[in-house]
Amino acid sequence: MKYGSLSFLLVGCMLFAARSAGQQKASPPIIVIMADQLRADVIGEMTPNISALVQEGVTFTTTYAASPLCAPSRASFFTGLYPNRTHSLINPWAPQDAHFGYVSAGIPNLYTLMEDSWDSWHVGKQHLFTEDPLEKDPETQTKWITQQTYAQWMKSEGVDKPGGRIFKALVPEQVSGHHTGARYYSTPFAAPYKPGVGYFTDRYFSNEAQRAIRQRDKTKPFLLNCMFLAPHPPFHIPEPYFSAISSQQVDLPDNVGQWYPGQSPLQLYNITGFLGTRYTRDEWRDTWAKYLGLVKLLDDEVGRIVQALKEEGLYDEAIIVFTADHGEMLGSHSLWQKNCMYEESVRVPLYIRFPSGFPVGRTAIDEPVSLVDVLPTLLDYTGVPVPDDLDGQSLLPLVRKEQPDKARPIFLQYDGNGSLGNFQRAVVKDGYKLIADIFGDEIFLELYHITKDPQEKVNLAFQRENERRVLQLLTCLRAHMERTDDHLSIPENVYAQFISHYNRLN
């Protein structure tokens, strides 16, 4: 072989090696921290640890949960699919409808996609319900530390868990869409948790998360999904957090304790309105103080995890996701808990801190995104093969400042809490949100210009000049429902019926 040919071959090999190295998977530590029932608007001065992640990462300012309910939201988060595609529509509490609460067998999720290569740990609330329970799978490679683990530890300590019947009230709930049962759900009632923070649920999970960080398999990249309960009720809160915030410190949003003429009266059949409308604005102020105490507790536990990552040398090289499964009405629109399509319920914080050196083109992204986008983003970053036909899209092009031609619509879905009964569908597009609230044979429509009216005070659907926009958004929503094989449909004449039935009542 001639010297020139040998040189050409060596150069070619070097180029191939360089190209292969450039295409090699990134294998950073992946840390997912999810709060439960956290409003997006409470992150700020009182949450210094979460705010530090905000300052060092990318903020997605307009992020929506796929569903304003725990199980279906988490199913969508972990699979990148909308609820109709996962088949997880409700929390599976009522036996008659429980099968509507589980992700269908065979659908890949973050754990199954990554646990072969990553040292995978789950610490905290486990509400990713699947037909074949993940944590009971004999072949799972994830270490599972869940509410059941906490309950066993508390039993061994001889200490009662937070909560109890005093924090609940009886609520009517439609089952299977046609008959009514009764179930106890949490109220805003608050009391100090006397055993103290050392026995509190989220302190236990924070301790276990730190143990996972220190005891991880250092021959593999590290994957930690830390699922906190705070600030979800019951408001059985240890000191110093129970007394950390006084009601005088609370600056309530204008829409707290207000029922607006254009909001759906069908909410009164739901836990949101059935419980929420009985409290005054002053009473909500007291409730806010307790809720914010739990937010402060959450922030402290996040800080403890971040400190452990730094001590183990993982922080700078990790991709850290902070979010929540859904929000909390907390008296906005005179409603309680989540279970509805208003911003306080469906809009969630989403912050992603990328490893040091990753070229971030934008630190604040205003385009609407969905929690279904997180899984494809992590897979895109790491090079793990993406399952076919995900509903979510990688957010990396947005982060790199590769603007899309047109912002896509975001879809929201609710099918009842512990059983099928209260149904809502919504679409967010071009600064507007259209909501279809469905109960029995009634459909109530709400249209909000959420860019100009973020507290959703004025239902524009009653204004006939908005008919064209309502119909366009209904067409978009129907197409999504058909594409995802929704078990519901919205009649073509729904807007005319809505105007005929409700306009004279407002």
- Segment 301-311 shows an average pLDDT of 98
**359 and 485: one domain?**
no
Find the angle CA(324)-CA(129)-CA(392) to the nearest 5 degrees: 55
Q: What domain range includes position 221?
A: 26-408
| Distances from the Cα of 378 to the Cα of 1, 80, 148, 502, angstroms | 47, 11, 28, 45
pLDDT reading at 193 higher than 90? yes
19 assigned to some structural domain: no
Q: Which pair of tokens denotes residue 295?
A: 């937010």
User: Do β-strands 143-145 and 423-429 pair in parallel, antiparallel, or remain unpaired?
Assistant: unpaired
Find the angle CA(300)-CA(302)-CA(308) to the nearest 5 degrees: 105
Q: At 407, is the pLDDT very low, low, confident or very high (cuts 50, 70, 90)? A: confident
Residue 349 corresponds to which amino acid?
P
pLDDT reading at 333 higher than 90? yes
Looking at residue 15, what is its pLDDT?
Answer: 32
**Percent share of the chain, pLDDT over 70:** 94
**325 and 433: one domain?**
no
**498 and 397: one domain?**
no
How many CA atoms, within 13 angstroms, populate the side-chain half-sphere of residue 54? 19
User: Do β-strands 143-145 and 235-237 pair in parallel, antiparallel, or remain unpaired?
Assistant: unpaired
Strand partners, 143: 121
**280 and 427: one domain?**
no
Q: Is the peptide bond before 162 cis (omega within 30 degrees of 0)?
A: no
Looking at residue 81, what is its pLDDT?
Answer: 98
What is d(CA 255, CA 124) in angstroms, rounded to the nearest whole number? Answer: 33
What is d(CA 466, CA 201) in angstroms, rounded to the nearest whole number? Answer: 48
User: Do β-strands 364-365 and 58-60 pair in parallel, antiparallel, or remain unpaired?
Assistant: parallel
Q: Which pair of tokens denotes residue 113?
A: 């996609």
pLDDT tens-place string over residues 383-399: 999 998 999 999 999 99
Among residues 75, 263, 287, 106, the alpha carbon closest in space to that of 189 is found at: 287
441 assigned to some structural domain: yes
What is d(CA 215, CA 131) in angstroms, rounded to the nearest whole number? Answer: 30
Domain-ending residue, one of 387, 408, 429? 408
What is d(CA 481, CA 443) in angstroms, rounded to the nearest whole number? Answer: 16
CATH number, domain at 376? 3.40.720.10
Looking at residue 321, what is its pLDDT?
Answer: 98
Residue listed under structure tokens 């309950």:
151
Q: At 4, is the pLDDT very low, low, confident or very high (cuts 50, 70, 90)? A: very low
- Segment 276-287 shows an average pLDDT of 97
Q: At 504, is the pLDDT very low, low, confident or very high (cuts 50, 70, 90)? A: low
pLDDT reading at 293 higher than 90? yes
Looking at residue 463, what is its pLDDT?
Answer: 93
139 assigned to some structural domain: yes
3-state secondary structure 47-64: CHHHHHHHHHCEEECCEE
Q: At 26, is the pLDDT very low, low, confident or very high (cuts 50, 70, 90)? A: confident
Mark out the alpha helices in 312-423 (DSSP H runs). 343-346, 374-382, 396-399
Least confident of 11-15, 360-364, 400-404: 11-15
210 within 8 A of 188, measured Cβ to Cβ: no
pLDDT tens-place string over residues 204-235: 999 999 999 999 999 999 999 999 999 999 99
Task: Write down the mean pLDDT value for the chain.
Answer: 93
pLDDT tens-place string over residues 233-268: 999 999 999 999 999 999 999 999 999 999 999 999
Other Cβ atoms less than 10 A from the Cβ of 405: the count is: 5
How far apart, in Å, do the first and last CA atoms of the chain sit? 90
Q: At 330, is the pLDDT very low, low, confident or very high (cuts 50, 70, 90)? A: very high
**305 and 431: one domain?**
no
Looking at residue 406, what is its pLDDT?
Answer: 64
**363 and 449: one domain?**
no
**284 and 387: one domain?**
yes
- In whole angstroms, how large is the CA radius of gyration of the chain? 24
User: Do β-strands 350-353 and 58-60 pair in parallel, antiparallel, or remain unpaired?
Assistant: antiparallel
492 assigned to some structural domain: yes
Q: At 23, is the pLDDT very low, low, confident or very high (cuts 50, 70, 90)? A: very low
Q: At 503, is the pLDDT very low, low, confident or very high (cuts 50, 70, 90)? A: confident
Domain-ending residue, one of 408, 443, 459? 408
Looking at residue 394, what is its pLDDT?
Answer: 96
90 within 8 A of 415, measured Cβ to Cβ: yes
**271 and 323: one domain?**
yes
Find the angle CA(129)-CA(135)-CA(137) to the nearest 5 degrees: 105
Domain-ending residue, one of 408, 428, 451? 408
Cβ-in-10-Å burial (0-12, 13-18, 19+) of 496 comes to: exposed
3 assigned to some structural domain: no
pLDDT reading at 112 higher than 70? yes
Number of domains making up the chain: 2
Looking at residue 19, what is its pLDDT?
Answer: 31
Q: By three-state DSSP, how is residue 369 classified?
A: strand
224 within 8 A of 32, measured Cβ to Cβ: yes
**43 and 163: one domain?**
yes
pLDDT tens-place string over residues 433-479: 999 999 999 999 999 999 999 999 999 999 999 999 999 999 999 99
**165 and 295: one domain?**
yes
**76 and 203: one domain?**
yes
What is d(CA 13, CA 462) in angstroms, rounded to the nearest whole number? Answer: 68
- Segment 274-280 shows an average pLDDT of 97
pLDDT reading at 5 higher than 50? no
Q: Which helix (H) or strand (E) covers residue 149, if one does?
A: helix 147-157
357 assigned to some structural domain: yes
CATH number, domain at 462? 3.30.1120.10
366 assigned to some structural domain: yes
**437 and 326: one domain?**
no
15 assigned to some structural domain: no
